Amino acid sequence: MTDVFDLDDLLTRYQVPDRSRTHLRTNFVTSLDGAATHNGLTQGLNNEADHQVFHTLRMLADVVLVGAGTVRNEGYEELTVTDARADWRTAQGWPPHPVMAVVSRTLDLDPGAPLFTRAPVRPIVFTTTEAPEGPRSRLGEVADVVSAGSGSVEPGQVVAELTRRGLPQILSEGGPAWFATMIEHDAVDEMCLTLSPLLEGGDATRIVRDGRQRTSAMSLLSLLRAEDMLILRYVRPELAPAG
């Protein structure tokens, strides 16, 4: 795959000023009419430019956080970065690969999946205190299973636990129900959004589903263009540079 953007420029563009400060970044791609999937998957909405930003954001993350439905639908496997990216991370004094973290209320996950069995770093699964004991025990053999709420997984508890583990740079890649929960709890510090030059229509998934409404202002921090595709970066207004 040929790089569309200069990697050093992307790293500078997407670095946060203080990595020790907890920062929850989300990353999504949508069509012009708001569809988050094409024929059920994000593949088809993105291109090489979006892929490059996607992998750069992973390269900068301490942990990648994703809902169980997205893990199943998108066929997530073990979380690794390329050897060159791992070498770059090591040169910064970071672990070679970010940690994988999955949010699952019911623990409907396969402990034999490559996401767990081939992971270079032991994954984390966030669930509730009511999660069934059988799946909890089986997943506990291949991941750290952490209760982070009663009835539903609470974003504040997830963020606090990741920060406690020394993983303050959090990249969330979905899915729509988990994103809705994060919005509802005002947990999102940054949103990276790729706007694909397509109209989808139909009943395609949107990037947010359900959850109570909560309106939060965001400030545009950067914009990249790759032909007709726009790659946007928004942050909380208080995190935007002055002036």
pLDDT at 73 over 90: no
Are β-strands 219-226 and 229-235 bridged in parallel, bridged antiparallel, or unpaired?
antiparallel
**What band does 243 get if pLDDT is binned at 50, 70 and 90?**
low
**What band does 44 get if pLDDT is binned at 50, 70 and 90?**
confident
The 3-state secondary structure of 212-241, one letter per residue = CCCCCCCEEEEEEEECCEEEEEEECHHHCC
Least confident of 1-15, 101-115, 173-187: 1-15
- The tokens for 172 are 């969330």
Higher pLDDT: 162 or 43? It is 162
In 18-62, DSSP assigns E strands to 23-31
Write the pLDDT tens digit of every residue in 151-174: 999 999 999 999 999 999 999 998
Element holding 67 (H helix, E strand) = strand 63-67
- Residue 242: the pLDDT is 80
**What band does 1 get if pLDDT is binned at 50, 70 and 90?**
low
DSSP character at residue 207: S
Nearest one of 12, 38, 36 to 26, comparing CA atoms: 36
- C-alpha–C-alpha distance, residues 131 and 112, integer Å: 19
**What band does 200 get if pLDDT is binned at 50, 70 and 90?**
confident
Length of the chain: 243
- Residue 174: the pLDDT is 82
Average pLDDT over residues 63-86: 94
Are β-strands 169-172 and 190-196 bridged in parallel, bridged antiparallel, or unpaired?
unpaired
**What band does 202 get if pLDDT is binned at 50, 70 and 90?**
confident
pLDDT at 133 over 90: yes
Higher pLDDT: 206 or 187? It is 187
- C-alpha–C-alpha distance, residues 106 and 134, integer Å: 11
- The tokens for 173 are 């890649």
**What band does 212 get if pLDDT is binned at 50, 70 and 90?**
confident
